[in-house]
Structure 1
């Protein structure tokens, strides 16, 4: 029995550390991290805002994710712009940030974290998102945000943004 418990403990630790270098492509659709704990049920202490509520197709806009308090930092992230459940557009990441692009069906349509020290956790992060040149629809930014490997929220959304041709 002790050997079984040790194997289970090692497996849980491996799962918790398994995606410390970013979300796996298997999380693209449901945005649920493959952590060995469930997401938080409480309201997320984060907001997703943009610098505009209407954007022309093909024109970039800034997306900002902020913790509501000083202790609400961001260690892990999966961010997408979605029309319904489909990720659209492409992100640009500022240089020297602990984030990377993820291919969720199209190169660069999602942002996730890279492995980093806790000292690099941030209360506010920003990215540039560019909608497809032919998009004429409403999008919402949707994110999974992790305070750490055991505390995370799935389905944090922005207000709707209208993309026009």
Structure 2
């Protein structure tokens, strides 16, 4: 009987780790914490978020790049938003045939990017996305991400340098 309990517990744990392998759930939109059965890492993340510009005109697209610092720092899972304070803002563009990423609706269609279910061989060391600030917006944003090396190792709140959006 004890063995069956151990097997059942292992299956439940595996299901929790793989439960969102097809992308971040909408429940993660606000705090960006994935629904994994383990807490996020508190160490400095081995990833950086860089942008193609430090200033962008409202309505004009720009590029956002997330990179692992070493070849072993690959990206298995991802939730990326541009934030005006705590509010997701703007729209991302993902190619329809992208094998790694898809858009997520965090209150507005396309205002977040998450991963798709994919084989480990499709994990990336670098991913790039196009983001467009809304027309008429004037202010400062930061890109904020949750990045998972795997289901048990992930960082929440990885941020870019500020980007100024002007009219």
Of stretches 11-20 and 100-109 in structure 1, the one that deviates more from structure 2 is 11-20
Superposed, 1:74-113 pairs within 5 Å as: 74-94=75-95, 95-113=97-115
- In 2: Cα distance, 1:153 partner to 1:111 partner: 16
Q: Within 5 Å, which residues of 2 pair with 1:29-48?
A: 29-48=30-49
Could you say which residue in structure 1 is the equivalent of 2:139?
Answer: 137
TM-score, normalising length from structure 2? 0.95
Task: Provide runs of 4+ in structure 1 moved above 4 Å.
Answer: none
For the aligned residue pairs, the C-alpha RMSD in angstroms reads 1.2
Q: How many residues align?
A: 165
**Could you tell me how far 1:71 is from its partner in structure 2?**
0.5
SS at match of 2:150: coil
Deviation, 1:9, is 2.5
Q: Say whether 1:25 aligns with 2:21.
A: no
Counterpart for residue 116 of structure 1: 118
User: C-alpha distance in 2, partners of 1:7/1:66?
Assistant: 37
Question: C-alpha displacement at 1:4, in angstroms?
Answer: 4.2
Helix, strand or coil: the match of 1:147? strand
- The partner residue of 2:127 within 125, 129, 132 is 125
2 CA distance for matches of 1:88 and 1:6? 44
Separation in structure 2 between the aligned mates of residue 112 and residue 43 of structure 1, nearest angstrom: 21
Note the residue ranges of structure 2 that are not aligned, 5 or more in a row.
none
- Alignment partner, residue 53 of structure 2: 52
- The secondary structure found in structure 2 opposite 1:13 is helix
SS of alignment partner, residue 9 of structure 2: helix
Query: Is contact 2:99–2:118 with CA below 8 Å preserved after alignment?
Result: no
Q: Deviations over 1:111-161 (max 9, x none)?
A: 000000111111111000000002111000000000111111000000000
